[in-house]
Chains A and B, each alone.
Chain A
């Protein structure tokens, strides 16, 4: 401490003793979430004079309470929000009372912005679920509640708002509270209280309102001041995620990170999750001096007593209480992107400081947010919640989300746009995967390739139906065969008659179609062949997946770029005609998109040259 100053130090000590409650508001559009937060800020004297002056000006022509203020303007800080009178993204606000400090996230009710509600919920201990007394429990009320349970918010207050508009009617309040309790029962919240309020008029916010003599519970703020929410994270198993390897010089090597849970002390034996190697903690370093012990939440630098391989993303634990380490698990997923999720598509998964490619291997079921019923599905759309199994390219360390949100929650990232697509909570690891290893045989690809005297490779043709892929591939194969090479064509139509005859033409089926073909192509190349794949393969993501599946096998993407009108004029199989007539659905180029490759190795202009010429060009370019 700096210069001793009794008054201030006393006051600081009081501040330090105050606990922090992080909560969010959620519920359906216009139920009064932002108004409620504005009211809380105003009533706790947090709106300062200069802000109040500009607020009064802005409140002109809006719905105001006795104070002449539209309280939602205090939180709806974006121009678009003010114009439209809705909340679009989370606002984080801070206030404190004599008893407690609060961080509140005011989230949007609009279905379109559900992902922003999830953002606000992910760091909250408690949720205020608002309901408009006139409207009762709505779909969005249920959706938000379900997401709360999934994200693990354990404490809920049902705030029945706008009670002023139903004449402070007890029956209305009790009916809504009963309906909500019945719905929320299976969601397993630890505490659930219900309060009738008017955010606009200030009833039951700071103190009990004279308008609701029949309500004998606590007013909202006193309730929030008293409720016990804190989980003792230090009492849980020790988890330390390595964020950054700290290496100022050759004499010091430490691992910087935050203690996700538990405690660690100098002298403790620890285990490194990825290698299962043991080590002992020799120092806990901070700029304020070494510690003998550190607890959950602290950001420290650990030094180990021996040289072990530890890198960013590794998780340290105590032996005997290690996290799971596997490449397959079951999880619940909230989807947050306009583009749906499909099994088989490859994403990046980030959990703690680990980032790995991952695929949804199985979509078990989707949960209806309204009824909580489960149903089968082939994809997950925006704002839907599903239970899936996920496989990662490498094993990762994790815990079930219910045991530890910081080591059990993950996000999925789009590999092309880098957008955050979804958030998941791991339910459990799948043991089967831990035992699944690749067989290594003595006769390998090199041996087989040498026998054939050729370098195996995959040439992947993409382009519209009728663009000339098959003709070119066919001519190339003939030529290679004439030269004594072993080549094989995997053709879309042929494969769909056999291996993939169970698949249709929906987006989900197309993804799976390509995944299987890519795997077959890899096996064939592994057997030593030159594989020519001739598939429309309309989506950039799957072509990329195919390239990844190929791994270290040489992969050439050839885009046969023939304009749609030319393909349609050729129409060798009469398919375009049928598609135009509506007889075939989901036909690429007509009512299903073709994403032109952004970075193919080679582009062949199918409208400008004959297939034979193009095949020659290609042969030359491939340098067999």
Chain B
């Protein structure tokens, strides 16, 4: 083989591997966020490649809000066992004690407590100086503005107006005490890149991405899957079986399914080509208001 130029995916892969290695070499206590979604699956795959034949030299952290899809949790435990990485699970126990849930407390308060605050707790507890995440710049407008090595002050806040210059691939990884870094190795990937990479590398993902008959209820145009008995049904509401899938995964009461027949990767990729809506449309927390993602990130959200 006399290939001299890398394909687009090969180049993206190499860039991400370089970033992951830079984290391992430059920080004392890195951690990788593992949200069990497709981007996390790609990230995990890249981390295995980056350090092979060594094991991934940092733990994976899953912030469990207690309302994740059951299939996600099962997939997480299977994957951890298969690849043998260190998995840290964290749940905000104060939230559990106070019975915080998206129904009684609203999606935004629930997310603040069970996701954002939980994440801060976990990062503080582990004294992590770098947290690797699977966010991409094509996801959302404020993400499009973020550096690959994104500096956080001692209270985990992002200062979007004052980011460090980031030249070439020469990353400034230095921190003052208490500060930390969020690192996004797949910043330059698009949703389509992620799917084609999953396809060509044969990366396992949660089956919820594939169309299947599932019990759902429809609420103001959004299909919510009835994953367990905690979802309060409205008067007269009855779950019904529909063939649906998810473009993005999170907490089941806050994640909209789409009607689709795409039951395997090729169909998903073809469906995406024709799609006229963005993947975030299915995330109920992002559509609250313009700039809500930026605000959340300033508060320490990923």
Contacts and interface: CB of A to CB of B under 8 A. Distances in A.
Residue of A51, A118, A286, A348 with highest tally of chain B CB at under 10 A: A51
Given A122-B167, A299-B18, A89 B161 contact: yes
Contacts of B200: 1-2, 12
Contacts of A90: 145
A417 interface: yes
B141 A77 contact: yes
B125 interface: no
Contact of B50 (A252, A256, A296, A418): A256
A503 to B, nearest CB: 31
A139 B168 CA distance: 25
Interface in B1-50: 1, 3-11, 13-15, 17-18, 21-22, 24-25, 48-50
B83 to A, nearest CB: 12
A13 B114 CA distance: 43
B160 interface: yes
A77 B170 contact: no
B176 A287 contact: no
B190 A48 contact: no
A114 to B, nearest CB: 10
Residue of B164, B167, B202, B264 with highest tally of chain A CB at under 10 A: B167
B170 A411 contact: yes
A93 interface: yes
A115 interface: yes
Given A16-B9, A91-B144, A418-B175, A119 B21 contact: no
Given A119-B167, A350-B170, A420-B165, A252 B53 contact: yes
Interface residues of B, number: 70
Residue of A20, A285, A410 with highest tally of chain B CB at under 10 A: A20
Given A77-B142, A299-B17, A418-B172, A16 B199 contact: no
Interface string B47-84: 01111111100000000000000000000000000000
Interface in A562-602: none
Interface in A10-29: 11-12, 15-16, 18, 20
Contacts of B278: 48, 50-51
A286 B196 contact: no
A61 interface: no
Contacts of B230: none
Contacts of A327: none
A116 B165 contact: yes
Interface stretch (A188-196, A240-248, A269-277, A482-490): A240-248
B93 interface: no
B240 interface: no
Interface in A332-376: 336, 348, 350-353
A577 to B, nearest CB: 40
A82 B294 CA distance: 12
Interface string A457-491: 00000000000000000000000000000000000
Contact of B199 (A2, A119, A420): A2
A426 to B, nearest CB: 13
Given A49-B277, A54-B290, A118 B165 contact: yes
Contact of B187 (A91, A92, A235): A92
B207 interface: no
Interface residues of A, number: 84
A5 to B, nearest CB: 4
Contacts of B138: 93-94
A94 B190 CA distance: 7
A122 B165 CA distance: 10
Nearest to B14: A299
A89 B147 CA distance: 10
B52 A230 contact: no
A556 interface: no
Interface string B146-188: 0000000000000011011111111010111000000000011
Contact of A243 (B25, B143, B175): B25
Contact of B8 (A15, A247, A286, A296): A15
A467 B179 CA distance: 35
Contacts of B165: 115-116, 118-119, 336, 411, 420, 423
B239 interface: no
Contact of A263 (B4, B137, B190): B4
A91 B145 contact: yes
Interface of B: 1, 3-11, 13-15, 17-18, 21-22, 24-25, 48-55, 137-138, 140-145, 160-161, 163-170, 172, 174-176, 187-188, 190, 196, 199-200, 202, 264-266, 269-270, 275-278, 281, 290-291, 294-295
Given A1-B200, A18-B8, A79-B291, 4 more contacts: A80-B161, A234-B5, A244-B51, A418-B175
